[in-house]
Every structure is written in structure tokens, then in C-alpha cells.
Amino acid sequence: AQSVTQLDSQVPVFEEAPVELRCNYSSSVSVYLFWYVQYPNQGLQLLLKYLSGSTLVKGINGFEAEFNKSQTSFHLRKPSVHISDTAEYFCAVIINAGKSTFGDGTTLTVKP
């Protein structure tokens, strides 16, 4: 069975500081990995995805993530956050064409 663990439920950070949101997964087979962002009262929007190839993935809004197979991690990073990045972030894993499994989410709060 696959599972996703987001290690931090809440991450407060000051504006223009760097941030890392951590995600670990468990799977015995190859996976596809995703990060989504959810703003209040909205659906989820894809930030970036890893399907294959380069382990460093760049996404929208200046976010990037690195796939680490040996550590089964897919941490999300941004070198300098803005107030507008305040939202909930979800890590997700899919095996082939199977169902998606989402982490519990990390609430990122950017303070001025």
C-alpha cells in the first residue's frame, strides 16, 4: 500500500525567507509525485510534478521539489516566499494509473 506523510502540519515563515515543506512516501514500486496548493474556498492547483527524468522539478510561482528515491522524499522548496504564498499545500502520490493518495496537508503562513 502507498502512503504519504507530510511531516509538518503548520509552517510559519517570514516574508522573503526560504521555506521547505517536507513530504515522505512509502511505496514498493515506482511512483508519480505531485505537489498541489489550495487557497481558501478553492480547489487544488498543481504546483509541480515528478513523473520521471531529472530529480529536480521546477514548478509555478517559483517553487521547486527534489525527488530522492533512496530517502523516499519529495520536499517542496522556495528560496523567497511572499505573503500570497499563504495557503495549504498537499503532497500526493500515484502508482501508474491508480488512485491518488494525498498527505494531510501543510498550512504555510507567511508573515510580514
What's the alpha-carbon Rg for the chain, to the nearest Å?
13
Site for another protein in 65-84 (CB under 8 A): none
How near is the Cβ of 49 to another protein at its closest, in Å? 6
Alpha carbons within 13 angstroms on the beta-carbon side of residue 55 total 10
Does 106 bind another protein (CB under 8 A)? Our answer is no
* Beta carbon nearer to another protein, 79 or 98: 98
Site for another protein in 35-54 (CB under 8 A): 36, 41-46, 49, 51
As a whole number of angstroms, the distance between CA 68 and CA 65 comes to 10
Q: Is the dihedral of CA 99, 22, 109, 104 positive or negative?
A: positive
Binding site for another protein (CB under 8 A): 32, 34, 36, 41-46, 49, 51, 90, 94, 97-105
